[in-house]
Structure 1
Amino acid sequence: MKNILLIFSSVHGQTRKITEQLAQQLRSLGNTVVVADIKAPPALDEFDKIIIGASIRHGKHNPLVFEFIERHQALLNQKVNGFFSVSLVARKPQKNTPETNPYMQAFLAKTSWQPQLLQVFGGNLNYQGYNAMDRNIIRFIMWITKGPTDPMTKVEYTDWQKVQEFGQLIHQA
């Protein structure tokens, strides 16, 4: 089987949770999997496959994601590679594919890297887990996009079947 690196950039933990689920699945299929935060990745050359997952915060992916890709793009292109994005906008059926998700499209427009595997997942809405500023910003965005605004709302929009299907794609690639 393969040696796989799953790198995540997470703000409130959902991207990390998705990454850990992918790791568990890929290990159960016989792969060796290392999970790493984008802030402290291991040496990349020992891996056969490298997948990056990143969440959206205030409408953008973490700049560290782009810095990592720019620094390692030549090596990424030599390996099986992929990228997934996690956002609340992906909760909507018309915005839950790489082709229809505005954050994925903005990501692809901002980098010259063209990942072989792409996916988007809905995030987790937990108003009580946010600081006051984030809670108010997200509630305002949810109001605009006709999402839940009750400050007690806690909803996980991640489609775990879709995560499992992405794990199969990684395994088969």
Structure 2
Amino acid sequence: MKNTIILYSSREGQTHKIAQFIAEKIGNDSCELVDLHQADDLDLSLYSNIIIGASIRYGHFNKKLYQFIEQHKAHLISAGASFYSVNLTARKPGKDTPEGSVYIQKFLKRSPWQPKYIGVFAGGLYYPRYSWFDRVMIRFIMSMTDGETDTSKEVEYTNWEKVALFVKKVTEQSTK
């Protein structure tokens, strides 16, 4: 039986990639990865460890995240579930912590669930994969924040050591 479930809401694939990394660190045999957008009939009581990851796009988490939390809040709270956020702003020092992330601060005010552990990770910038509109908008945002603006580039900002430290915290708490 798999005792850890990792749910993810990913737009360009980096949140899913981080979920896969987390599963590898925990041990793939004991983890189940589930796309949050396809998890309506999920029985969370089957898992002793719950991790949810979600990405930011244009300053917001996908509304499906909040719907899932509302539907499963009692179990998320009782299980001591953990959460990680993926966004490009976290590429900057100080913006990569729950206290320094405006997205996490907004999330904590809006969500009826307060995660036991929270990770904030920088995502990936994949200009060639974006639609024309997204490429233009993200380039504009990156130019305002002194980021990469060459639309021919793909840049991965994720700090994998930081993700590994998050996994260590989460797994230590689940064994207590």
Return the TM-score normalized by structure 2: 0.93
> Structure 2: how far apart are the matches of 1:111 and 1:94?
23
> Structure 1: how far apart are the matches of 2:67 and 2:9?
12
Q: What does 1:17-166 align with in structure 2 at a 5 Å threshold?
A: 17-27=17-27, 32-41=30-39, 42-166=42-166
Aligned length: 171
> Structure 2: how far apart are the matches of 1:45 and 1:114?
18
Q: Match of 2:163, SS?
A: helix
* Contact 1:48–1:80 (Cα < 8 Å) also in 2: no
Q: Match of 1:73, SS?
A: helix
The gaps in structure 1 that reach 5 residues or longer are none
* Contact 1:2–1:49 (Cα < 8 Å) also in 2: no
- What does the per-residue CA deviation read over 1:30-86, in whole Å, with 9 as the maximum and x for residues that have no partner? x71111000222321110011100001111000000000011000111113111000
> Structure 1: how far apart are the matches of 2:48 and 2:77?
11
* Pairwise CA distance, 1:94: 2.0
> Structure 1: how far apart are the matches of 2:79 and 2:101?
25
Identity %: 43
Q: Which runs of 4+ in 1 moved over 3 A?
A: none
Q: Match of 1:172, SS?
A: helix
* Contact 2:2–2:32 (Cα < 8 Å) also in 1: no
Letter in 2 for 1:95: K
- What does the per-residue CA deviation read over 1:108-151, in whole Å, with 9 as the maximum and x for residues that have no partner? 11112110010100000111010100000000000111111111
Q: Match of 1:150, SS?
A: coil
- How well do the aligned residues superpose, as a CA RMSD in angstroms? 1.4
The gaps in structure 2 that reach 5 residues or longer are none
